[in-house]
Structures are given as structure tokens and as C-alpha cells.
Amino acid sequence: MPHLHPLSLLLGVLLAALSGCATGGDAAQRPPGAAPAAYHGVQPEPVAARPSFVLRDTAGDVYDFAQKTRGRPTLLYFGYTSCPDECPTAMADIAGALRETTPELRSKTVVVFVTTDPARDDPPLLRRWLDMFSPDYVGLVGTQAEVDAAQLAVGVRPAARGGAVETLPGRPDEHEHRPGSAPHRHLGPLGYGVAHADTIFAFDADDRLPVLYPGGVRPSDIAADLPLLAQGDSP
């Protein structure tokens, strides 16, 4: 299923910068004369500020993203629970990264998952799905218009509904897993797919977006970057 990379809307991130990034490899190149790259993902230039958008969490409470996560290292992902491979792999990779950090750093880090499929992902379903990775993950829902606005606030094209997901014969909730994807299961029929940005947005303690992780990043790379995100402006 095709997925969309972030666009150069608010972030100034070029499509080529993401599509050319090696899986879990070197950080994006900075301009000549700039300080050596410190992060293990794509480093946008210029660095954007933490965005502002308001949705509801899985408990039904209003969740102001900028306010709730201010000053804390934050990993944000847009996806949906019926996603065949990319979304569960991203959530599993983040969980793996957090297991490699200290308890203190884990307690500071916020993981936020915004559904791009609000028609199917109601709060109870989203909570059940996220709990398979961590009960600490924040799940956010809203109307389609609100979810689209949240994506635009971050700088990505809103996700779009696609065609039917290919499943195993007689098993509408199972599919052939893509090589390298994390082991996972689904909570209902996969139905249609949703094309979305397969990217983890990482915000630091100074409320900036210094690094993005395209799909395929190694958990160890995220883990290595979390101390930098927690301290804010890196050297």
C-alpha cells in the first residue's frame, strides 16, 4: 500500500530528503560549514516549532497537543489501527527504543498516535490497539476535518482513503506481513487502506522538531537520540 512522505509545507522538508534516507542510517546532510549532524534521522532545515492542534484522547478528554506535551521529548505518529504493516511496526519500534532508555527518560517521553481513520478507529478500539504496544501511549481522535487539520499543522498532506487491503483467503483480519515488519495482529477486518505519512515526528524539550524518522528506522537509533531530545537544543 503506498504511503506519503511529509511535504515541504510548514517544515521545509523536501520529498527527496526522506525518500533518499537510508533505513535507520545516517542523518540528512546539513549545508556546508554547518555543525556535524547529531541525530540519526532526517534533520529538517529550518527546524520547525512544535505545532498546535486540539483533538480528543481515548478517554474522551480534550487534548491540546502543544500544551500537553510542552517541554517534553515527544514522538508523534499519524496512522490507523487497520494499517497492515507500517503503523504497528512504528509503534513497536518506539516501544523497543523506550526499553533501551532509562526509567527517568521513559517517564519524560510522550508518545502520541493520531488516527487518520476516524470513521473506524473509535476511542475504545484505538485504546485496545495501542495497549498492545504500551498503555502509556496517547491515542487521539477527532472528526475527519480535525484530523486533517492536525496533519496540516505538522506539515504533511492529509491521509487519503485507498483501495481494499489484500488479505489471506478466508481471513479478513490477516495479511501477508512485509519482510522486516514487527509481529502484530489486527482487531478486525482490514477492509480499505489509508495512505498516510509513515514518519515519526520527534519534538525536543525546546519545543522544536529537530528530527524525523522515516519508516524502517532502527529502535536503537531512536533510543540514541532521546537524550538529545530531552536536553533540548543539541550541540
> Domain residues of the chain, as ranges?
15-21+40-46+55-165+189-231
| Burial per residue of 182-221, b for 16 or more beta-carbon CB atoms within 10 angstroms, e otherwise | bebebeeebeebbbbbbbbbbbbbebbbbbbbbbbbbbeb
Tens-place pLDDT, residues 37-53? 489 999 998 899 999 99
Cell 478466508 locates to 170
Sheet holding 110-115, edge to edge: 62-64, 54-57, 138-141, 110-115, 74-79, 199-203, 211-214
> Quick one: cell of 64?
491540546
Residue 202 is predicted with a pLDDT of: 97
Residue 118 is predicted with a pLDDT of: 95
The superfamily (CATH) of domain 15-21+40-46+55-165+189-231 is Glutaredoxin (3.40.30.10)
Residue 25 is predicted with a pLDDT of: 32
CA 9 to chain centre: 17
**What pTM does this model have?**
0.80
- Rounded-to-integer distance, Cα 13 and Cα 48, Å: 10
Residue 170 is predicted with a pLDDT of: 65
CB 120 within 8 A of CB 100: no
Taking 50 as the pLDDT cut, the residues of the chain under it are 1-37, 234-235
Cell 532521546 locates to 226
